[in-house]
Amino acid sequence: MLICRMTTYRKPTLIMFHQTEPRDNLPLSETTFYILLTLAPAPKHGYAIKKEVNILSGKSIALSTGTLYGALKRLLEAGWIEPVAPSVRRNGARTRREYTLTPLGRSIFDAELARLSALTRIARSFIARGHV
């Protein structure tokens, strides 16, 4: 519902994430890319995402909790990720809420990977030809 409203007003800062074609949402910001990357293999909770983004980026990206949850909220609203229902442990305690990629989020992430691969291939071949 929110997404439909947002697209109506054509505000550049607000229309990100709201296109239906995966390619229309590209390129992704570095933070979004890393969050989707950490969620690609398995669902994770907020702290695990934060830690893994830090490791994957070679410690160049240290997300603050505020930034992370702001980004997660937008990804949830856009339908790129969804929460996994918390399960109940043996001692009766609930596990923390985890997030996982939706089919839409996965297709956008795949499209971004393909885009980056294509760019890298083009660049490599151009440089290789230049050196020949």
- Give the binding site for other proteins (CB under 8 A): 2, 5-6, 8-9, 11, 14, 45-47, 50, 62, 64-70, 72-73, 96-97
Q: Is 23 or 73 the residue whose CB approaches other proteins more closely?
A: 73
Smallest gap, in angstroms, from Cβ of residue 18 to other proteins?
13
How many Cα atoms occupy the beta-carbon half-sphere of 69 within 13 Å? 5
Nearer to other proteins, 46 or 110 (CB): 46
Least Cβ distance, residue 77 to other proteins (angstroms): 10
User: What does the buried/exposed string (b/e) look like for 63-78 if buried means 16 or more CB atoms within 10 Å of the residue's CB?
Assistant: beeeebeebbeebeeb
Query: Whole-number minimum distance, CB 95 to other proteins, in Å?
Result: 11
Give dist(CA 16, CA 110) in Å, integer: 17
Q: Say if CB 51 and CB 62 are below 8 A apart.
A: no
Residue among 59 and 131 whose Cβ is closer to other proteins: 59
If you ran DSSP here, which 8-state letter would residue 44 be given?
B
